[in-house]
């Protein structure tokens, strides 16, 4: 069978609204899981709530005092500052794996450099993403380059 012989993949106009509702429902479930149940709107208050839910300190305390494991790949907020009055939210996201990668690069003994990049030219002034990482210098390659993100909204 050739691609030209394949039937078209379109949604029947009669089912369009039902499909839109199903997609909206599933998207809402996924976003709710990814953001620990926090509903984000355009307010700084919702960003504050998100920063409380994803704050790293409770996970560290649970690890130290209760022996609970920390998910190495879950995204946590490791730095934050919000001001409802100024309509400003600053959050630094990372996961434990990437934070450990920075220590691995430094502990390697080779010279390392901090690298950074920002999306301010590619995004609106209301939302910027800045990435930080470390790479080894001295002719050696670091396969474990690390990233942490800073979001300003």
Computed on alpha carbons and rounded to an integer, the radius of gyration of the chain in Å comes to 21
Alpha-carbon distance 46 to 14, whole Å?
37
**pLDDT tens digits along 6-24:** 666 677 889 889 988 998 8
Alpha-carbon distance 11 to 137, whole Å?
53
- Check whether residue 100 and residue 129 sit in a common domain: yes
Query: Does 2 map to a domain?
Result: no
Query: Does 3 map to a domain?
Result: no
Q: Highest mean pLDDT range out of 5-9, 11-15, 125-129, 143-147?
A: 11-15
- Per-residue pLDDT at 57: 92
- Per-residue pLDDT at 61: 94
**pLDDT tens digits along 88-121:** 778 888 888 888 877 777 787 777 777 766 665 5
Provide the number of structural domains found in the chain: 2
Q: What CA–CA distances, in Å, run from 13 to 9, 17, 26, 66, 116?
A: 12, 8, 20, 55, 47
């Amino acid at each position: 069978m050739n691609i030209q012989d394949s039937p078209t993949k379109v949604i029947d106009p009669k089912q369009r609204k039902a499909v839109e509702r199903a997609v909206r429902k599933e998207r809402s479930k996924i976003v709710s899981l990814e953001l620990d149940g926090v509903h984000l709107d355009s307010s700084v208050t919702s960003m504050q709530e998100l920063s409380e839910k994803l704050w790293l300190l409770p996970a560290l305390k649970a690890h130290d005092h209760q022996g609970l494991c920390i998910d190495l790949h879950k995204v946590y907020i490791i730095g934050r500052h919000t001001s409802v009055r100024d309509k400003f939210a600053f959050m630094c996201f990372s996961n434990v794996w990437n934070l450990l990668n920075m220590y691995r690069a430094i502990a390697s003994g080779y010279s390392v450099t901090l690298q950074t990049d920002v999306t301010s030219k590619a995004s609106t002034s209301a939302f910027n993403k800045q990435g930080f990482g470390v790479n080894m210098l001295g002719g050696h390659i670091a396969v474990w380059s690390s990233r942490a993100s800073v979001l300003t909204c």
